[in-house]
């Protein structure tokens, strides 16, 4: 039997250190972004997952859109998204997503979704419609998808990959030892295999994955996850501090210092990741537009120098 770590219980949340404190959103642009999401009946992971960066990102009109509803069929111990029986899929959503991306003027958009284990394909066909809608509405916008694991939904990963997003992201979230308590509805090697499969289907796509730290993992376990990702040819890595959404969720084991994050970033780059974001406030889509733009510029400069 695989070892696992029980979820730590606590009656109050541990106070955040200074490096994790952010200002409450107050800007006019933040309000405009929020209104646009409401007007188009769209959900965002920024709100649903209580992201600490929402004020900064929405002020810059950067929002991570969450498709297929706001109710997830999984119940992960780290996640603040509602769990239950989802409603019907909104057939107008792909068009609304394309419209939102156009109105926000995004150069790079990140799309994610809840798990939809109730759907035969896990929502993969809907994913394809959303990607295609963005390409029609905003042909110059690069697209990053952050999909669920499509567990036991054969062919679903292939379907989304063949829609040719620019970046295919799927988060491992934590180290294998913690899966039974932190991510009980998923399997570590299923997620790892998904990332590997994407590259087999579309070798030119960039793949990306991320984990949380401060949830009970050890440094050696984090380094092993990095090695597993590189063995699966994952290109981009994000590492951020886990923050407990409510007292019902897994407790913070410790707050990882900025210096420790800097060490993780240095090691990850040495292991061959093309892009690494490792800071306390890093989340999957945090600064994804700027990171991807820098990578494209670097690649174009390198190609120009070679030619």
The answer as to whether 2 is a domain residue is: no
Domain span at residue 60?
23-306
Number of CB atoms found within 10 A of residue 153's CB: 18
Cα radius of gyration rounded to whole Å, the chain: 19
pLDDT for residue 2 = 47
Residue 80: pLDDT band (50, 70, 90) is confident
The answer as to whether 146 is a domain residue is: yes
Give the rounded percent of residues in the chain with a pLDDT score beyond 90: 63
At residue 139, does pLDDT exceed 60?
yes
Of the candidates 189, 147, 136, which has an alpha carbon nearest to the alpha carbon of residue 169? 147
Of the candidates 116, 105, 98, 109, which has an alpha carbon nearest to the alpha carbon of residue 42? 98
Each residue's pLDDT tens digit, 180-200: 999 999 999 999 999 999 999
CB 203 within 8 A of CB 164: no
Each residue's pLDDT tens digit, 32-68: 777 777 777 777 765 655 666 565 665 655 677 889 9
At residue 237, does pLDDT exceed 60?
yes
The answer as to whether 4 is a domain residue is: no
The answer as to whether 72 is a domain residue is: yes
The answer as to whether 231 is a domain residue is: yes
**pTM exceeds 0.85 for this model:** yes
The answer as to whether 82 is a domain residue is: yes
The answer as to whether 8 is a domain residue is: no
Strands (E), 105-230: 108-113, 142-146, 167-169, 206-213
- How many Å apart are CA 42 and CA 71, to the nearest integer? 13
Least-confidence region, from 20-24, 165-169, 261-265: 20-24
Look at the chain and report how many structural domains it folds into: 1
Q: Is 154 exposed, middle or buried (0-12, 13-18, 19+ CB in 10 A)?
A: exposed
Which two tokens mark 219? 């440094």
Residues forming a β-bridge with 145: 111, 168
Domain of 208, CATH number, reads 3.20.20.70
The answer as to whether 251 is a domain residue is: yes
């Amino acid at each position: 039997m695989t070892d696992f770590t029980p979820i730590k219980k606590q009656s109050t949340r541990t106070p955040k250190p200074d490096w994790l404190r952010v200002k409450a959103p107050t800007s006019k642009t933040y309000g405009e972004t929020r209104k646009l999401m409401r007007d188009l009946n769209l959900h965002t992971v920024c709100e649903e997952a209580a992201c600490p960066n929402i004020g900064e990102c929405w002020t810059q009109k950067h929002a991570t859109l969450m498709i297929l509803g706001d109710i997830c069929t999984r119940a992960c111990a780290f996640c603040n998204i509602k769990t239950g029986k989802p409603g019907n899929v909104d057939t107008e959503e792909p068009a609304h997503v394309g419209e939102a991306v156009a109105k926000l003027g995004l150069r790079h958009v990140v799309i994610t979704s809840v798990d939809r284990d109730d759907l035969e394909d896990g929502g993969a066909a809907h994913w394809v419609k959303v990607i295609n809608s963005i390409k029609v509405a905003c042909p110059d916008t690069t697209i990053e998808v952050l999909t669920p694991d499509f567990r036991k939904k054969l062919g679903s990963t292939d379907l989304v990959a063949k829609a040719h997003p620019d970046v295919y992201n799927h988060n491992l979230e934590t180290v294998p030892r913690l899966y039974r308590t932190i991510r009980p509805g998923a399997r570590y090697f299923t997620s790892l295999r998904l990332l590997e499969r994407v590259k087999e289907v579309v070798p030119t796509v960039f793949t990306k994955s991320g984990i949380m730290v401060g949830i009970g993992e050890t440094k050696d376990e984090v380094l092993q996850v990095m090695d597993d990702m590189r063995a699966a040819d994952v290109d981009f890595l994000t590492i951020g501090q886990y923050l407990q959404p409510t007292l019902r969720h897994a407790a913070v084991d410790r707050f990882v210092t900025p210096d420790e994050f800097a060490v993780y970033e240095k090691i990850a780059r040495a292991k061959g990741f093309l892009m690494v974001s490792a800071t306390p406030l890093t989340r999957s889509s945090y600064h994804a537009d700027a990171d991807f733009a820098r990578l494209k510029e670097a690649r174009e400069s390198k190609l120009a120098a070679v030619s």
